[in-house]
Structure 1
Amino acid sequence: MSQLTFDEAAVRSLEATYMSPDVVAQRGRVLDLLVPAVGERILDVGVGPGLLARDVARLVGETGRMVGLDNAPAMVAAAAQRLSDLPQAQVLQGDAGRLDFPDAAFDAAVSTQVYEYVPDMPQALGELHRVLRPGGRALILDTDWRSIVWHSSDPARMDRVLACWDAHLADPHLPARLGPLLRQAGFEVRRVEIVPMLSPRWQPASYAGGMMRSIHNFVRANGGRFGLSSDEIEAWRLDQDALIARDEFFFSLNRYAFLATR
């Protein structure tokens, strides 16, 4: 399985996608569900460039604590810079499957688009359960890539491209089994809801626009392992360009937010 490489260029690309209106709206919904309160201790597992973490840190205030964790050094550097003016925020390099914190260290935890990359989910959720205080809450948001509706003039080719893209994840369909996994780890699932990423028309500054760039780059580098020729990959991209030019672009993908308590 080929993983995405989160170097400085990838961080800049991800930041641009995360600042698009639909992802900003998603971040707002995550905050609505998490409800960070003044004085709370909150862990962000997979902090990325730190946009959500900054909002959380401001909400818990100087009497609270916000710790961001990521295993990519470029992400840790970007998040640390973004949070550098907030003394209640800290960013650390670490592994979602092995949380180097004491038991009951946090009131809440949040993780968006991270656990689908984690191969041992029982271990990761066991660790999350351990570091939350009794009654503490976890907000987890991940994508099931089976939910995608993406218009193409060649649906079979689109399926082959997306099958290649799925290979960069440990589980591209994690939400379908996340509820049972949370319960097995000792959590009580309080709420589950869909957070759609919808682009009924082309918008370059959107989640769909960011995904088109990321998928194209990944498939160009890895498509040969899945029987995709360079000509076929370029035909996929040119088809999307033609649909955009004719105002026939359509993209929809569901993310699933799980709110659970320890």
Structure 2
Amino acid sequence: MSEVFLLIGAGALAGAMNATAGGGSFVTLPALIGVGVPSVLANASSTIALYPGGLASAWVYRDGFSRVAGVPLGTMLLTTLFGGLIGALLLLWTPTSLFDRVLPWLLLLATLALAFGRRLGPALRARFRTGIVTLLVIQFLLGVYGGYFGGAVGLMMMAAWNLLDGADVKALNPPRTLLVSAANTVAVICFIVAGAVRWPEALLVGAGAFLGGYFGAILGKALPSSVVKSATVLLAAAMTIHFFLRAYA
């Protein structure tokens, strides 16, 4: 019974985080591993559990879908879908023992994106200029990352897009939610077909995430964004340190 409350609670916290600053997988992944789910299956189950919330966000933002840095959204979508497929297959082909050693580095990358992602785009744009082909290559790689792991991939996308487009963050949110959901959609299909999902645990996390997403959005409106971001980054950093110690100490 305690595991049930742990998974529902982790899902609720993750849903609230995704509704505000992102990074929900930093909670669901350790919770699933903590109740005995192998890391590869835990990552797949976490993706499944958090997937409906991402779709709901994309639906809410549907009126704002537009080109990304001048690139048609359909082109970006196909690029992301292909990358997500490659990433999901790579995860399924990764031995659990190897994934346990790769995971801390993925968490570190996601933590850095959470901490600096919104500032990275303008900083890069001030120093570099790139073309559409480069943007599509970057988008493909982010799709691979999204299908394989996906932590903070939305922030990474916006940082990459800012290399070409200085649009306001709110204007980038609609295509971001769609393309993150696209990478996750392919991954979800692959994980289900491969039987890589622990359904009882995933459904408990998903139920919590649904509730957390609703109340988290309400709380996010009331709390200063700096408080939300700081708390999220601190939690992400703590989880990253924990998994480095778990893998290498």
TM-score bracket for this pair, using the shorter chain length: under 0.3
* TM-score normalised by length of structure 2: 0.27
* TM-score normalised by length of structure 1: 0.26
More helix by proportion, 1 or 2? 2
More strand by proportion, 1 or 2? 1
Greater C-alpha Rg: 1
